[in-house]
Amino acid sequence: MDIKNNIIKIRQNIPEACTLIAVSKTHPVDVIQAAYDAGQRVFGENKAQELVAKHEVLPKDIQWHMIGHLQTNKVKAIAPFVHLIHSVDSLKLLQEINKQAQKNNRIMEALLQVHIAEEETKYGFSMEEIRALVNDGALTTLSFIKIVGLMGMATFTENKDQVRKEFKRLKRFFDELQATSLPSNMVMEELSMGMSGDYEIALEEGSTMIRVGSAIFGERHYPDKVL
């Protein structure tokens, strides 16, 4: 795998303003270091423990993004350093992030994950749930959180029309919220959508952050140990 070349090729394909998150889950630190040496500074992981372990040994100017489902009891471990949590899918989780952010004397940034795929298995709020959260005032007390946008995952399918339709729906919802009067700790700036197989479509539909794993690092092999 020519990691450096993969990163350069993807960068050439995407707008300057789009954030490329290199999804390094399951890959060992020497592989991440190779991407770092190629200039990549933004990495995404989907497990809190793996995120903590990699943060400890890798250069401290890396921006670590949590992109996977997060249990409330794992927030504490990543709260001191995580840059952005993409996968917030419950009020309970928002409250725990707020609590840990306060303990660390920082404002933590998060995206609300929206369920846009057909599959039942994907996590996320429904759009209706987010409208209710915004309207019922539940967010206003969370003063150590800043919600900066939305995240979504399209259905895992070869059907590009369906993927595009799902991304379009998410963008339309993003625009709807942007036009709404939102709580003071909520802005619609980032739209995290697109992975190795569908980031080109996602960018056409308005994505500002793409989460790319296998197109940079190759297939994942799920080792027992990553360090």
Ligand X SMILES: *Cc1c(COP(=O)(O)O)cnc(C)c1O
Interface residues toward ligand X, by CB under 6 A: 23, 25, 46, 67-68, 153, 195-197, 211-215
Q: DSSP H helical segments within 107-213, as ranges?
A: 127-135, 160-178, 199-204
CA distances (Å), 163 to each of 69, 155, 157, 158, 202, in order?
21, 6, 7, 8, 8
Position of tokens 């471990």? Answer: 77
Q: Is 93 exposed, middle or buried (0-12, 13-18, 19+ CB in 10 A)?
A: buried
Decide whether 185 or 192 has the Cβ nearer to ligand X: 192
Q: How far is the CB of 61 from ligand X (least distance, A)?
A: 22
Q: Taking CB positions, which residue lies at the least distance from ligand X?
A: 213
216 close to 35: Cβ distance less than 8 angstroms? yes
Decide whether 144 or 199 has the Cβ nearer to ligand X: 199
Decide whether 66 or 177 has the Cβ nearer to ligand X: 66
Q: How far is the CB of 20 from ligand X (least distance, A)?
A: 11
Q: How far is the CB of 53 from ligand X (least distance, A)?
A: 17
Q: Which two tokens stand for residue 121?
A: 């298995």
Q: Which two tokens stand for residue 206?
A: 């308005």
Decide whether 87 or 185 has the Cβ nearer to ligand X: 87
Q: How far is the CB of 26 from ligand X (least distance, A)?
A: 9
At residue 91's C-alpha, the angle toward residues 187 and 54, to 5°, is 80
Q: How far is the CB of 214 from ligand X (least distance, A)?
A: 4
Decide whether 35 or 67 has the Cβ nearer to ligand X: 67
